[in-house]
Structure 1
């Protein structure tokens, strides 16, 4: 279930944005130039008298006259004014010479096409739409994808098998602002290395965006206060003065400088970013007391690149699928920074998990790790706190008083939620975010990059192809109504109630039983949205149900049993508490029974529970046929498909 990135526009020669035309195609052996063969066909398709010999050039002319990329022997004979038998024999000679290929198809007995065209179809092709700042690449090489990932956002992919996919990239403002180059010339050189020719309009837009990204900066004055500096007097007057509120600035210093209220630094950066001018942060922030920590785990090549890129800019968001090692890369970043570190997480379970990861991958002294949440209040050189606690007024002053060398925002999409947003105002010399996909349905992805830093990471598909992460098999299964009472209840309901009835379709329990039986050797997670539905499924299957209401101690014990550390629990029913961050490395099967009205990010996270470096990865999404769940399932899974994950669909029998 993927969208064609090119759409009808990609092949529409009338589209003013389309830069690839027939004249751009490299055809060195006769090509498709009608002038080369000296043979024409008039508009009425009149036959042209030629001798019985057939050259590759004349075959090209027949195709052009036919206005098709392939032709039957009878069509070639008609266009070149010879008999069908003679044309068939001549085409057979061209096939023997390797100049033409033949193909049996359903609509024609046999069609022929130039061999060179078949080779062209398997090559990388790049089509540029400069006015929309979009690039469509069919069968891209690793080189092309690596270059494009430096300055463009992967929007969508099509195709099913690695090596045959098409990719749609879009160059956005924030991509240019965060591009890892010394200057605009280096960025343009990288762009030119992958495009078929130069596009002056696109290059000028990129240069303009690069200039915008280097027009404002924050620095620490020698008297230890924060200064906003503009590149010109007009920028300070026409941009900063117009977009900054009175509480953001204490007083002007000069025509190009202003004294910034230190408590409003995050707001200043956000306001100017929204105005189209990201701010360079060159403040002399402390790194706190040094932390004695060394990494004991070898990094994968792409993880090393993430860390190097981050250290150059001192901010950024590691974006990659579950299982790609974002936590290990973050720990390597902590070791490289070597200063006091605050790690913010959405739950107590994740806090404990982070502590174990630090002990597993570093030489850090356990006494130097503190947990700060509802069950513990410890400040240490490395402190792991929940967003909710760190954002509370009664704890906030404690976190503000520390000189953090690094703040790490795990599952950083939480930063823009109102209850957690105050944590983004905590200041540190380095700011790192982690997320499988930072998108929020509120459209606040850009705000995440403003508050923390630009995206850093490989596209999911590259990690699948390289074998670092096992690509999940995702299947949407459309479940029918088998209970007439439930069907009638759905028909008479509306709004949220209708959505709930579809989610709790009783036929889903039977389908879950079938899937668990079909994969009886695999550890399974069953995701639900509504607590009553979770209780019903758990009771029917005779397995535990974990929700936000499950006591922390019981929850920890059940996860331990599922991991095989203490007991042998094969199946868990989980609510949203299982969506984020819980490390269940032996989860091989995920069944999304309900919750399809949730976000695209939630769909990615639930699919991601099975993404691991080795072993099978299966995700079944159950949607009630004929309900709004069909659309929700397709929307959620389309987001995965755009990242290179294959998605198939199945109608469950009545």
Structure 2
């Protein structure tokens, strides 16, 4: 049933979902309101569905939002009365944030509850009370320092997030100053939002010790610079963990370019080089590498190799489970998570919250676009028919194989050629999941192909040629999802992806978010086989970006049209 235009845009349901009418005049206002404390779960054309969860409310509370503000916002945009059960539960969930505090108590720690009943309830939970020591008063219980992370992780799972007020050790000091003039010429200063992000992490004074948490900023917004600014605030030796060797090199280059840290004080710890220096940059892959499944993670010792005062988790949404376990043991060290999206496909967002820290700041992508810090992007999904013989193969295949058959629709090559002709001479990336498909396209286009098997040095050479303008087109596998600095990339054509991965969709769009010369638009194309599993997954992939305010233009190409296009092109 269509909504009445005169009504308010939201319907709040008893199952904690919120329906938002996309064509309502107040749609954008209501979307920005929901963005602060709810998660988008469905995004059909006319009605978006959000879900309010304990974690979304705890992150909102950690950022300073109150239950009264959430309830008032929902009432302000809700078509009908806010269900009383929903209001009660919102108040209950948000009241639990801050109800438990972890504090210093001499040589040990104590868990302090707001009331005796809460502590009694937790004593009845076997998994929680296994980390408790002596009950020192009606509302406090002692906790061993080595259980600090494990206790927080378990209490969060039980629905009782802990505000950690213990503080952190200083770590070995290291002088870190931000340059005002760059070695290659030009001035350098933090953007206002980068300064705001560093402030949010390092603490607001008073009872908030800062020093742990996650900053969520769009790709291209300078997350690396925010990490460097945090290092300059804290003046301590730092371990930086990131997704791949390309990212290691980029962090090192940025550190040497924008700070006074000496090159000899920056070490690379990866499969290629293993240096432990006052600032050490390592990959998640090397930390979790082992020859056999029964072996220990020998490189985890890196966490204790030096007296780190800060650990930075770049692309924190990719954090592997073994690194979570190691992080539980180092809660006395400051921890900064950097990411473009807190979405985790494995559902471990609560572990990020409890072990790295709450969301300290999230900057909406569209806000930075309006301010000119990231490019304006036009997103377009082109749905192509599956034609014989691919259609017959798809229909006869087992469900687990149908997705790949749809992704490898041979007609995608023709459409890639059309888009390249449309954007002739514009720096373009063609990105996909399946190597056979990528090889076919790179050969047809006479374009360089970058995959995980290509040596890192050769990848760097090709990226450098792309940046210089010597080559205008690269075909890349998922190795280019993260930490590839190609500021002039203006068009991205996505021919296949990892099922319904929202984080991958966001990261791929991030490859073209750097502002363009003259303020021109960037273009993000996705080629999808219509009426297939690939189309179903494409809708799921887009959720995070739709929540951020992006819209996807949909073009459906019929069989007859596809045939005419190819006849005209002579293919």
Tell me whether the two structures share a fold, i.e. TM-score over 0.5.
yes
Q: Structure 2 CA distance, aligned partners of 1:159 and 1:363?
A: 50
CA positional deviation for 1:278: 0.9
Q: Structure 2 CA distance, aligned partners of 1:155 and 1:291?
A: 42
Residue 572 of structure 1 aligns to a residue whose secondary structure is strand
Assess if the C-alpha contact under 8 Å between 1:152 and 1:169 holds in 2. no
CA positional deviation for 1:346: 1.3
Cross-structure match for 1:41:
none
Cross-structure match for 2:68:
188
Cross-structure match for 1:360:
257
Assess if the C-alpha contact under 8 Å between 2:38 and 2:57 holds in 1. no
Assess if the C-alpha contact under 8 Å between 1:216 and 1:229 holds in 2. yes
Assess if the C-alpha contact under 8 Å between 1:218 and 1:281 holds in 2. yes
Identify which of 529, 536, 554 aligns with 1:624.
529
Q: Structure 1 CA distance, aligned partners of 2:534 and 2:42?
A: 23
Within a 5 Å distance, the mapping from 1:128-527 to structure 2 comes to: 129=12, 132=16, 134=18, 152-153=37-38, 155=40, 172-179=53-60, 188=68, 192=72, 196=76, 205-223=89-107, 225-244=108-127, 248-249=131-132, 253=136, 256-296=139-179, 297-312=188-203, 313-391=210-288, 393-400=297-304, 402-415=306-319, 417-425=320-328, 426-455=330-359, 456-481=361-386, 484-527=388-431
Residues 205 and 492 of structure 1, relative CA distance in 2, 3 Å threshold: closer
Cross-structure match for 1:648:
553
**C-alpha distance after superposition, 1:627-649 (max 9, x if no partner):** 22122222222432222112111
Q: Structure 2 CA distance, aligned partners of 1:378 and 1:148?
A: 45
Assess if the C-alpha contact under 8 Å between 1:343 and 1:385 holds in 2. yes
- TM-score if structure 1 supplies the norm length? 0.72
Residue 648 of structure 1 aligns to a residue whose secondary structure is strand
Residue 244 of structure 1 aligns to a residue whose secondary structure is helix
**C-alpha distance after superposition, 1:60-98 (max 9, x if no partner):** xxxxxxxxx9xxxxxxxxxxxxxxxxxxxxxxxxxxxxx
Residues 269 and 427 of structure 1, relative CA distance in 2, 3 Å threshold: same
Assess if the C-alpha contact under 8 Å between 2:42 and 2:540 holds in 1. no
**C-alpha distance after superposition, 1:330-372 (max 9, x if no partner):** 2212212222222110111111111112222223222222221
Residues 596 and 427 of structure 1, relative CA distance in 2, 3 Å threshold: closer
CA RMSD, 1 decimal: 3.5
Q: Structure 2 CA distance, aligned partners of 1:460 and 1:182?
A: 18
Q: Structure 1 CA distance, aligned partners of 2:13 and 2:386?
A: 49
Residue 309 of structure 2 aligns to a residue whose secondary structure is strand
Residue 644 of structure 1 aligns to a residue whose secondary structure is coil
Residue 582 of structure 1 aligns to a residue whose secondary structure is coil
Q: Structure 2 CA distance, aligned partners of 1:414 and 1:351?
A: 15
Within a 5 Å distance, the mapping from 1:469-618 to structure 2 comes to: 469-481=374-386, 484-564=388-468, 568-595=470-497, 597-614=499-516, 615-618=520-523
- TM-score if structure 2 supplies the norm length? 0.81
CA positional deviation for 1:621: 0.7
Residue 292 of structure 1 aligns to a residue whose secondary structure is coil
CA positional deviation for 1:144: 8.4
Residue 467 of structure 1 aligns to a residue whose secondary structure is coil
Q: Which deviates more, 189-198 or 551-560?
A: 189-198
Higher radius of gyration, 1 or 2: 1
Assess if the C-alpha contact under 8 Å between 2:487 and 2:515 holds in 1. no
Assess if the C-alpha contact under 8 Å between 1:157 and 1:642 holds in 2. no
Q: Structure 2 CA distance, aligned partners of 1:490 and 1:203?
A: 48
The answer for unaligned runs of 5 or more in structure 2 is: 180-187, 204-209, 290-296, 563-571
Q: Structure 1 CA distance, aligned partners of 2:326 and 2:550?
A: 33
CA positional deviation for 1:551: 1.6
Cross-structure match for 2:569:
none
Assess if the C-alpha contact under 8 Å between 1:317 and 1:453 holds in 2. yes
Q: Structure 1 CA distance, aligned partners of 2:371 and 2:41?
A: 19
Cross-structure match for 1:116:
none
Assess if the C-alpha contact under 8 Å between 2:168 and 2:332 holds in 1. yes
Assess if the C-alpha contact under 8 Å between 2:37 and 2:59 holds in 1. no
Assess if the C-alpha contact under 8 Å between 1:546 and 1:574 holds in 2. yes
Residue 281 of structure 2 aligns to a residue whose secondary structure is strand
Q: Structure 1 CA distance, aligned partners of 2:3 and 2:257?
A: 50
Residues 159 and 611 of structure 1, relative CA distance in 2, 3 Å threshold: farther
Q: Structure 2 CA distance, aligned partners of 1:548 and 1:170?
A: 37
Assess if the C-alpha contact under 8 Å between 2:202 and 2:211 holds in 1. yes
The answer for unaligned runs of 5 or more in structure 1 is: 1-7, 12-68, 70-119
Q: Structure 1 CA distance, aligned partners of 2:177 and 2:148?
A: 32
Q: Structure 1 CA distance, aligned partners of 2:127 and 2:382?
A: 51
CA positional deviation for 1:256: 4.2
CA positional deviation for 1:603: 1.4
**C-alpha distance after superposition, 1:432-483 (max 9, x if no partner):** 211111212333323322222222212223223333222311111122345x
CA positional deviation for 1:419: 4.8
Residue 537 of structure 1 aligns to a residue whose secondary structure is helix
CA positional deviation for 1:134: 4.8
**C-alpha distance after superposition, 1:95-151 (max 9, x if no partner):** xxxxxxxxxxxxxxxxxxxxxxxxx89xxx6757385485959556999888776x5
Cross-structure match for 2:207:
none
Assess if the C-alpha contact under 8 Å between 1:152 and 1:171 holds in 2. yes
Q: Structure 1 CA distance, aligned partners of 2:30 and 2:534?
A: 38
Between 1 and 2, higher relative CO (CA 8 Å, sep ≥ 6) is seen in 2
Q: Structure 1 CA distance, aligned partners of 2:26 and 2:325?
A: 42
Residue 502 of structure 1 aligns to a residue whose secondary structure is helix
CA positional deviation for 1:579: 0.8
Residues 251 and 572 of structure 1, relative CA distance in 2, 3 Å threshold: farther
Residues 500 and 126 of structure 1, relative CA distance in 2, 3 Å threshold: closer
Q: Which deviates more, 541-550 or 170-179?
A: 170-179
Assess if the C-alpha contact under 8 Å between 1:404 and 1:427 holds in 2. no
